[in-house]
Structure 1
């Protein structure tokens, strides 16, 4: 059974944190779904991943292409079948069933956006009330610190 990891972004933007987390997930051998409902956000993240980190390229694709099933990282609002890890961005929904079925679920949210904070709190409550294990991570001085754990 997997767990939901909540990442409260305050020091680093999504564009810096997401590639780092995808890199860690890929080192585990996980196939990753980056889920967002906003197509412009997905397009922006696609550009970020094409630019890649200085130390390596993250192979990926936008959902809807001819090779979606072959992509080690897929960006889109699609079902989680065939993935080991979901990275929810922009408030994209994740179900308790998905958390339980996947190796890892990451929910990344902007700590400077009140609406995003409220949405993440709602996701935390819904998932933990459904029996999911969850961890809450926040940035402090550029480092990630586990602030809470449930389950």
Structure 2
């Protein structure tokens, strides 16, 4: 079973919060797959990660750029294949309400959602309930004045 963290964005937008979380994965020597809600988000993140000031180096790739096995961060709009992430990632980031049928292929899953959008909150609650029913270890993080605060 995967360890799944739900990350409730309340203070900063996704494009500012995600680079820092990805930076932590890279600092630990890990690899990440970022599952986006569509091709527009993949394209926007592709551009944003190259321009990120903190951290200032987030090497990544997409289906368009190829060479997944060489990329420490892989941006995708399609779920990981049965054998796991194309880049060998053990961390999975879920954005825009994206869901994966391959959670068991990852050690850690981070589900980021917009806390200022009622539809996003309701969808996150549904995903939480489904993950709990499936027996995954869950944690809940919310942005606070000092950064991420573990709430549950």
Determine helix, strand or coil for the equivalent of 1:91: coil
Q: How does 1:1-151 map to 2 (within 5 A)?
A: 1-78=1-78, 79=80, 80-81=84-85, 82-95=88-101, 97-98=102-103, 100-148=104-152
RMSD: 1.6
State the TM-score, normalizing by the size of structure 1: 0.89
Aligned residues: 146
Give SS of 1:124's match: helix
Bigger shift: 118-127 or 62-71? 62-71
TM-score, structure 2 as length reference:
0.88
Shift of 1:54: 4.3
> Gapped runs of 5+ residues in structure 2?
none
Assess, with a 3 A threshold, how the Cα gap between structure 1 residues 146 and 42 changes in structure 2: closer, same or farther: same
CA distance in 2, matches of 1:71, 1:119: 30
Task: Give the secondary structure class of the aligned counterpart of 1:107.
Answer: strand
Displacement of 1:113: 0.9
Structure 1 residues 54 and 18: CA distance shift in structure 2, 3 A: closer
Q: Which runs of at least 4 in structure 1 moved beyond 4 Å after TM superposition?
A: none
